[in-house]
């Protein structure tokens, strides 16, 4: 008995009781017709090969299987990819902010996607702020770039415009012989970059990015705890420098930090702008040094002298001053808030008795 009629007859008999006809992507009626219409080939009648239904069956099955597989393998839009990566809080907030349709549109987009832990670790006051849908939308749009920006295109101090309008800053560091990348000082998970979506790519972040309010001086001037610092910078003639393009890293003493220096010292320094400028420049580094990129060791300041940075599980200490808040977001660098004024080595306290005379 010819093999093909046997196979097809079994398919007819089994088709109504099993999933075979579905698997072959054919209905039983089609198989019955193939049994009726089948004509065995002569051994050397190759010219009739194209009319054999089994050939059509094999081609059809292959075509449908490939199409189905390619459909299943094709990535979805950015919100779907974010969900697959476990970024469920990001997806929920995108829906809440009314941005889901945008991020499912043609794009392309590049999204820096914070993890669930990144959102849960936000301070309470930030969580309260983003409960406002308008504020939430602006923060989320700051995480979205127009176009497709792959990780290989990222470079140190690269600034890229966001959908929100402001630019975010990329930084690359080498720490413990490994590359560390940040976006507006939020650490990038380099094991989960370039996650492909149908309308762009996604890079996973370990923190939420906060859009900068302004440059170093404008930001400090908007905060009452930096009134002494802003006054000192103004008297020293450093405003044009510190509100320039930079980028800079500022270790910013609070008013309480200035209150720790010996009585009369600040007044004497305010009367001597060149000396005051030296002290203030000792608080500034050239370049953006986010906390994720800081390593223990000496770093040269704008004053030309070094500060000693110590990074440990307890935090970051600069000379003897502790960083009490890190990674303040500004347009021309970063601000780290410190609890003690930094004094250059030749301004150590025993040598400043003249300030109290």
3-class secondary structure for 31-52?
HHHHHHHCCCCCCCCHHHHHHC
63-72, 89-98, 146-155, 169-178: least confident range: 63-72
pLDDT tens, 164-212?
999 999 999 998 889 999 999 999 999 999 999 999 999 999 999 999 9
Share of the chain above pLDDT 90, in %: 69
Give the C-alpha distances (Å, rounded to integers) separating 198 from 76, 140, 145, 174, 195. 5, 20, 15, 33, 10
DSSP label of 262 = P
Asked if 78-205 and 216-356 have one fold, the answer is yes
40 pLDDT above the threshold of 60: no
Dist. CA 44–CA 145, nearest whole Å: 64
Dist. CA 247–CA 238, nearest whole Å: 14
Contact predicate 142/166, CB 8 Å:
yes
Q: 215 versus 52: which is more confidently predicted?
A: 215
Q: Distance of alpha carbon 292 from its chain centroid, rounded?
A: 13
Dist. CA 78–CA 84, nearest whole Å: 10
Contact predicate 55/49, CB 8 Å:
yes
CATH number of 216-356: 2.30.180.10
Res. 261 pLDDT band, cuts 50 70 90: confident
45 pLDDT above the threshold of 90: no
Domain extent listing, the chain? 3-73, 78-205, 216-356
Closest by Cα among 212, 160, 151, 221 to 179: 151
User: Taking residues 41-61, what's their average pLDDT?
Assistant: 58
6-20, 125-139, 332-346: least confident range: 6-20
User: Taking residues 70-99, what's their average pLDDT?
Assistant: 89
Q: What is the pLDDT of residue 52?
A: 52
Classify domain 78-205 at the CATH class level. mainly beta
pLDDT tens, 292-324?
999 999 999 999 999 999 999 899 999 999 999
Q: What is the pLDDT of residue 194?
A: 95
Q: What is the pLDDT of residue 9?
A: 47
């Amino acid at each position: 008995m010819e093999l093909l009629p046997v196979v097809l007859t079994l398919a007819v008999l089994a088709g109504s009781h099993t999933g075979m006809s579905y698997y072959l992507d054919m209905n039983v009626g089609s198989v019955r017709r193939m049994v009726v219409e089948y004509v065995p080939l002569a051994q050397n009648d190759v010219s009739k090969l194209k009319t054999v239904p089994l050939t059509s069956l094999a081609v059809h099955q292959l075509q449908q299987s490939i199409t189905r597989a390619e459909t299943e393998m094709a990535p979805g839009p950015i919100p779907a990819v974010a969900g697959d990566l476990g970024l469920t809080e990001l997806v929920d907030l995108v829906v809440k902010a009314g941005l889901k349709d945008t991020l499912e549109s043609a794009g392309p987009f590049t999204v820096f996607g914070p993890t669930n832990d990144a959102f849960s670790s936000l301070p309470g006051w930030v969580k309260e702020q983003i409960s406002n849908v308008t504020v939430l939308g602006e923060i989320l749009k700051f995480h979205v770039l127009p176009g497709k920006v792959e990780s290989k295109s990222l470079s140190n101090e690269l600034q890229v415009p966001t959908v929100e309008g402001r630019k975010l800053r990329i930084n690359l560091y080498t720490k413990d012989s490994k590359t560390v990348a940040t976006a507006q000082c939020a650490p990038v998970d380099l094991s989960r970059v370039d996650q492909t979506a149908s309308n762009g790519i996604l890079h996973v972040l370990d923190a939420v990015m906060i859009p900068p309010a302004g440059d170093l001086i404008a930001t400090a001037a908007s905060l009452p705890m930096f009134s002494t610092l802003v006054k000192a910078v103004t008297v020293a003639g450093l405003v044009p420098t510190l509100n320039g393009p930079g980028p800079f890293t500022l270790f910013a003493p609070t008013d309480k930090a200035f209150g720790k220096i010996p009585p009369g010292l600040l007044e004497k320094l305010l009367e001597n702008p060149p000396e005051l400028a030296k002290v203030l420049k000792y608080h500034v580094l050239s370049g953006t040094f986010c906390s994720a990129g800081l390593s223990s060791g000496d770093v040269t300041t704008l004053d030309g002298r070094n500060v000693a940075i110590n990074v440990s599980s307890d935090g970051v200490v600069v000379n003897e001053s502790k960083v009490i808040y890190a990674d303040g977001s500004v347009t021309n660098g970063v601000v780290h808030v410190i609890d003690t004024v930094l004094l250059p080595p030749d301004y150590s306290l025993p040598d400043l008795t003249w300030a109290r005379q």
